[in-house]
Amino acid sequence: MSFKDVDPAQIESVLSKLTLEEKITLLAGKNFWETQDYPEKGVPSVKTSDGPNGARGATFKDGVTAACFPASSLLAATWDVEAAKNIGNALADEARSKGARILLAPTVCIHRHPLGGRNFESFSEDPFLAGKLAGQYIHGLQDNGVAATIKHFAANEQETCRFTVNEHITERALREIYLKPFEIAIKEANPLAVMTAYNIINGTHADSNNFLLQDVLRGQWGWKGLVMSDWGGTNSTADSLNAGLDLEMPGPTRWRKVDEVLKAVKSGAVSENTIDDRARNVLELLAKLNCFEDPTIPDETAINRPEHQKLIRSVGSQGLVLLKNEGQVLPLKREKLAKKKVALLGFAREALIHGGGSASVNAHYRVTPEEGLRAALGDTVEFEYAKGAHTFRQLPLMSDNVVNRENQPGWTLDFFDDEEPKGEPGSSTSSEQPTYIPLFVKESWGSLCARARFTPTQSGKHYFGMSGLGRSKLLIDGEVVYEQELNCPDSMGFLLGGVEEPEIQYSFEAGKTYAVEVVTVKPTSKGGLAMLDGFIGFRLGFMTEEDHNRDLLSEAVEVAKRSDVAIVFTGHTPNWETEGQDQVSFNLPSNDSQDRLVSAVGAANPNTVVVNCTGVAVAMPWLDEVKAVVQAWFPGQEAGNAIADVLTGAVNPAGRLPVSFPRAIEYAPAHGNFPGEFSDGEDGRRNLEVTYKEGVFVGYRHYDLSDENRAKVLFPFGYGLSYTSFTHTNHKASVTDGTVEVTVDITNTGPYAGAEVVQVYAGAKLAVPENPVKELVGFAKLQLEPGETKTATVTFSVRQLAHFDEGSSRWEVKSGDYEVSVGQSVRDITGKVEIRVEGQSYEP
């Protein structure tokens, strides 16, 4: 399936029929997901959909079910470009099932720091690996007729103050690290759309950044397509139009109201030609997607395709990384475990399949690790489960033992026009739970008051947790027991449960009735709220003292003691690892409870295995206390089956780390410069400035600088174990017409069939301080039977050895000897070959 060729005459004909006002209207969304249409003028609408690991559809939460694919950090761990293409191809099917012809994906921003809240939906710390995988992902999407939207252009590496943070990045670091994955994917796969980032880069917002959009994207790279804003990420009228932002999303517009744009045109701030250029790009995208011939937007459907299930399971298992396997405790073969006991602890009954935010979906189904292992091992094994740790970020909503004004179970929500909830409410409703999430509905009450009468069944000093989009307070029997004095720091975090709420304790007497009241007002500042500026929203959580303080750890230890093998499932739920919030800690949540669980179980059972589901590197203070560790990332809806396949040996693990795992957060290259430095602005808001002081020395480039740095790495970039073993011999490299060809013979010397990822790095033989020692320039993945030998061939361009010279504004390759390193990770180098390279210089 291919895109339709654009007929310039057709586009100009349609454009000529539109008034200036109508052209302006085309430059912002009609609603949250669709572009503006003018059927009477022959202009159709097109629908978009999130996101990187599943086409969610129009409903942000609990909508029509969709397939949940592995997150991009897992996809990157496969080091398999064909897998990336297959995922993109399947996502195109999913997008069409939701009536969408544009998927808002892939995300290719770099893993600059392990605490980046959105790292899981990006690929890697390495721009080459990220760009290559993203390119094939885009090919898969667009070969199947759905437009890709590569995002977020550019340098969206943190969630803290993401709408307003000003990032100071040298042009060299931008070119070599943060723009490089975009450049690779755009030049190799030509996505039809690019989405700008929220953040400010060197003083200018990404959506109005002439350097990014005009000089680099459309100029030097020669890309032709549609540029859209991230949702709520437009920050100007004239500047964004002039810089090349074609489409403000979502609609209705905030910055491109017809009267405001007409004023800008009349004043000369924006030309009519610019309006035509922006509208032409919108129309050309519609033409490529065949919207003029077929303007229909089908209803959303849930199509649970068996071929997608199979693909998700296969790719999920391929991306799991075996980090430790002492004494070959893995694989857990059925015959080895016959009539034995296995403890399933932690998140064994929860499927951690995706992170939070625009990458979240309402999955068709989700297979838990317990379900996957029971299906794999059958009734030959006796399983016993214990949770073992409190991992909640927010207390569950207060819905039990409460009645509303009508004496029915639930709450009464009263809405008021003014910020003070006085007099008669403008509107009232009943709610089963104490929460109100506007979900971008265009209403603007001044305040909200939620009331219920609560009769506890237990006495105790029970716990509350509360948050609001604007200033809020909790009252019990008329007494203020907690007050949130400022706006929520991020609306997406609020929407997805990623806002950490302070816990408030209050003494209750069983059988006594208490009046509980929440008052919240609409935010009065635009800092950090973006699309929900001016809208009210709140949530109130509650937990009894007994449930909150229950000793889950002792229960898990007892289960582990009476088991032959203990498997602890650790990780991040979507409200701990989510868009809108950077990670709270390098250690697993909550309050080190999972770390304590692993250590205690490791002490109680000599055969302890840890399976960790996070999209990022995490601290592993218990590593020496357990026998085996598997990094499982977020594997999608088949999570439990994919994990069971690897644990039982049905699949030989072949995943390799796409990021470095530091021993401590202090060892991260960006430590001390993430998320940045706060200052007080003139408007009363806190400003955030962050300087990318590490320059090009991101991830392994930093750790490679010295033995001291290398010692700070727990697991290096590219690392991963197998149930078999491989040897590399006969390393060769040659240069012909600007292309380097590298060959190496790979032999499977172990007992199992398996896949080896051959990694090729290169750098100047005489390293200089301003350049990395070596950088990834190519890779290949080979499947081998026991005893089999194959030759891996990897080619790369001499231009990949170039560095950007800010003095000349050119890419420069220095003449001299270069060292080509072949290895099983950036650290485990199996052989080196020297090549001679002639210098060259070229334009960006």
Residue 578's beta-bridge partner residues?
356, 581
E strand or H helix at 137: helix 127-143
Paired tokens of 813: 């390759």
Residue 559 near residue 384, CB atoms below 8 Å = yes
Could you tell me the two tokens for 844?
Answer: 């960006």
Distance CA 575, CA 361 (A): 13
Q: Which residues contact 496 (CB under 8 A, 6 or more apart)?
A: 356, 357, 360, 574, 575, 578, 579, 580
Nearest CA-CA partner of 644 in 349, 376, 385, 384: 376
Query: Which one-letter DSSP state was computed for residue 78?
Result: H
Of 745, 746, 780, nearest to 760 by C-alpha is 780
Chain-centre distance for alpha carbon 659: 14
Helix/strand/coil percent split, the chain, to 5: 25, 30, 45
SS3 275: helix
Q: Tokens 């605490």 identify what position? A: 115
755 CA to centre of own chain: 27
Identify whether 745 is a catalytic site residue.
Answer: no
Least Cα distance to 201 among 531, 689, 668 occurs for 689
Bridge partner residues of 829 (DSSP): 823
Q: How does DSSP assign 512-572, residue by residue?
A: --EEEEEEEE-----TTTGGGTT---EEEEEE-HHHHT--HHHHHHHHHHT-SEEEEEEE-
CA gap 543, 505 in Å, rounded? 10
Q: Is 132 helix (H, G, I), strand (E, B) or coil?
A: helix
Cβ atoms of residues 448 and 413 within 8 Å: yes
Interstrand relation of 48-49 and 102-103 (parallel, antiparallel or unpaired) = parallel
Helix (H, G, I), strand (E, B) or coil at 492: helix
Max CA pair span of the chain: 85
145: left (phi over 0), alpha (psi -120 to 50) or beta: left
CB atoms within 10 A of CB 750: 17
Question: Is the link from the previous residue into 127 a cis peptide, with omega within 30 of 0?
Answer: no
Cα separation of 39 and 18, whole Å? 12
Token pair, residue 636, equals 């999608």
Task: Name, in order, each residue with C-beta under 8 angstroms of 183's C-beta and a sequence gap of 6 or more.
Answer: 131, 221
What's the Cα-to-Cα distance from 442 to each of 26, 107, 151, 253, 520, rounded to whole Å? 20, 29, 27, 12, 18
HSE of 789, CA atoms in CB hemisphere, 13 A: 7
Ordered alpha helix ranges (H), 382-538:
491-495
Give the number of C-alpha atoms closer than 13 A to the C-alpha of residue 428, restricted to the C-beta side. 12
Structure tokens, 516: 């509980």
Catalytic: which of 126, 230, 246, 704? 230
Catalytic residue ranges: 230
